[in-house]
Amino acid sequence: MGKAIGSERLGDLYTGGKVKKRREWRGVEDTLYDYKCWLGIMGMLAKYLVRPHFLKGFLRYRWMLNYISVPAMIDKHTVGLRGNHLKIAHEEYDLVAEDVAKLLDTAFKADRYCGNDEELSKKIVVLDENEMFAIMNGFPTLKGISWETAAVYVAVLLQGDAVTGYLDAIQEMGLPGDVCPMPAAEAGTAVLDDFPLFGACAVQCNTTCDGSLLGNGIMARRYEKAGIPVFQIAAPLRHTEEGVQEYAAQEIRNAIKFIEDCTGEKWDWDYYFENTKRYNEENRLRYSWMEMSRTDYPQVIGANLALYAETTYMAIAGRVPDFVEADRRITKLAQESFERKEMLVPEYRHRAIIWGVQAQYYTDFLPWLQNCWGILPLVDMLSLVYWDQLSEDDPEQAIYDLGKLYQEMIMRNRTHGGWEVLLDDLWRFCEYYRADMVILWEHISCKALTGMHGLFEERAKEHGIKLVWVNHDLMDPRVIPKQNIRDDVNRYMRTVLMEEPIDPSLEVLDDDKLW
């Protein structure tokens, strides 16, 4: 153990319990930096927790208990990292953690059951977790908040089995267990009334799949019961076609009008373009990180790219200046490391595209791929989103841009729109990023992905790409535990490629109880 990457057997840190034996030793400088960040997170959590409405929320909602593992969540995504790569990870995760804390703070303050700040509640538009937040970019005095993000999406990142109770609740009501666990868990949370109630109105979207769309129906009924009016943005599925763009734009116009009618606020173009400029810059910077991944020295890859990109692209969408500032710092760090030809793990064996939808309960699988097998997760499907620049001065074009964003939001841009964007684009990206391997997340209840199973196999063979299937059930680790996910890779690497791991201590881990 020491300063050098790969100087420690990382699997030896696991104890089979909630916590590891000790913190990873990364040399004096990196360990102190990492510890300082850890203390910062603890301090930030304490700062929010002492607020009365926050404490009330913490005690009222059972999913809040997962938040005590925030530091552990950051630890598991920084495992094995050193130097600038460690700093990049902390820039990202620490900022996201604070942003989520602010979200919770606002939500609990406005919540009818906690802070019950009615004036604040009137300034909030409730959004879906899996929806572009860009519709709020023209409303300077309003906040877009998704309680689903806090209760379900982030909760599972923190603790793999966080939503199994909600899945049980909705299944008890009659929903089969074969639908996607994410909307099912959200529906279960709604059925148990275990979510903060606030908002002047709600704007939903037919986001990524049939399950998500239908789950919205349960939520809409709940909002209706609480007197919160709901609008649904029905973004077209065939998003590559010109014929649907006018319809998509009109949906955006209708959504804006709905928000204006419900809140009495007016859409502000100046504010919209101010946010859009930041959004464009964020996308340009993110694109530059991915361009580095075409070279022999990728710098921002794996979970560092995937999780952060989802947040900045979809939930922040330019509204928070802190993020673009962080992006600039990350770009500088990445550039420095690139020039110094720094590596993330001691040996690079395979360059992989991560396709499909990641297991939400095992997002640190990507660092594991690097550390255990030397497989570089260069880019992932969810990060390969719409990177055209949005208009920064033309209101008419801006509406069409927004329409396009809602059609081509994360995941949806690949799972809908015909096979070309899911199947054909994959091989183009393999060529572009010089990948020899595809790690294909097979989210078993995602029908859009599994519906191309056979053709993925056939095309991979045609293109000479090594295709590794990795099965999971998104938010339900009871169906496919983490070790099964690792074993999908272990088996392929040992039996098909006949390789030995870089760090054998990571091949089999007793981490079922780990946060």
Binding site for another protein (CB under 8 A): 170, 173-176, 178-180, 187, 204, 206, 209-211, 213-218, 220-221, 224, 230, 232, 234, 236-238, 241, 243-244, 246-247, 250-251, 254, 415-416, 418-419, 423, 442, 444-445, 447-448, 450-455
Rounded distance, CA 189 to CA 219, Å?
A: 9
Q: How far is the CB of 413 from another protein (least distance, A)?
A: 14
Q: How far is the CB of 455 from another protein (least distance, A)?
A: 6
* Count of CB atoms situated within 10 Å of the CB of 296: 11
Length of the chain: 515
Give the DSSP letter string of 247-270: HHHHHHHHHHHHHHHHH-----HH
For residue 107, give both structure tokens.
């939500």
Contact of 186 with 146, CB cutoff 8 Å:
no
**Amino acid type, 499:** E
Closer CB to another protein, 120 or 237, in the complex:
237
Closer CB to another protein, 393 or 457, in the complex:
457
At CA 345, angle to CA 342 and CA 349, rounded to 5? 105
Q: Report which DSSP code applies to 361.
A: G
Residue 242 burial class via C-beta count within 10 angstroms: exposed 0-12, middle 13-18, buried 19 and up: exposed
Q: How far is the CB of 441 from another protein (least distance, A)?
A: 14
Rounded distance, CA 233 to CA 226, Å?
A: 20
Closer CB to another protein, 172 or 291, in the complex:
172
Closer CB to another protein, 72 or 234, in the complex:
234
| Gyration radius from the chain CA atoms | 22
Contact of 223 with 112, CB cutoff 8 Å:
no
Q: How far is the CB of 165 from another protein (least distance, A)?
A: 17
Closer CB to another protein, 66 or 216, in the complex:
216
Angle between helices 83-110 and 28-49 (to 10 degrees): 0
Contact of 178 with 125, CB cutoff 8 Å:
no
Closer CB to another protein, 363 or 445, in the complex:
445
Closer CB to another protein, 236 or 302, in the complex:
236
Q: How far is the CB of 403 from another protein (least distance, A)?
A: 11
Q: How far is the CB of 235 from another protein (least distance, A)?
A: 9
Helices (H) and strands (E) in the chain, counts: 22, 8
Q: Report which DSSP code applies to 377.
A: E
Q: How far is the CB of 332 from another protein (least distance, A)?
A: 42
Closer CB to another protein, 65 or 444, in the complex:
444
Closer CB to another protein, 188 or 501, in the complex:
188
Rounded distance, CA 139 to CA 143, Å?
A: 8
Closer CB to another protein, 78 or 360, in the complex:
360
Rounded distance, CA 143 to CA 316, Å?
A: 11
Contact of 292 with 248, CB cutoff 8 Å:
no
Angle between helices 303-310 and 70-77 (to 10 degrees): 130
CA dihedral 314, 318, 322, 323 (to 10 degrees): 40
Closer CB to another protein, 73 or 152, in the complex:
152
Distances (CA, A) of 394 to 270, 400, 428: 11, 10, 33
Q: How far is the CB of 196 from another protein (least distance, A)?
A: 21
At CA 379, angle to CA 376 and CA 385, rounded to 5? 175
Q: How far is the CB of 370 from another protein (least distance, A)?
A: 29
Q: How far is the CB of 416 from another protein (least distance, A)?
A: 7
Q: Is 468 helix (H, G, I), strand (E, B) or coil?
A: strand
Q: Report which DSSP code applies to 504.
A: G
Q: How far is the CB of 177 from another protein (least distance, A)?
A: 10
Closer CB to another protein, 262 or 372, in the complex:
262
Q: How far is the CB of 109 from another protein (least distance, A)?
A: 28
Closer CB to another protein, 55 or 214, in the complex:
214
Widest CA span of the chain, in angstroms? 65
Q: How far is the CB of 227 from another protein (least distance, A)?
A: 13
Q: Give 362's contacts (C-beta < 8 A, 6+ positions apart).
A: 160, 472, 477, 482, 485
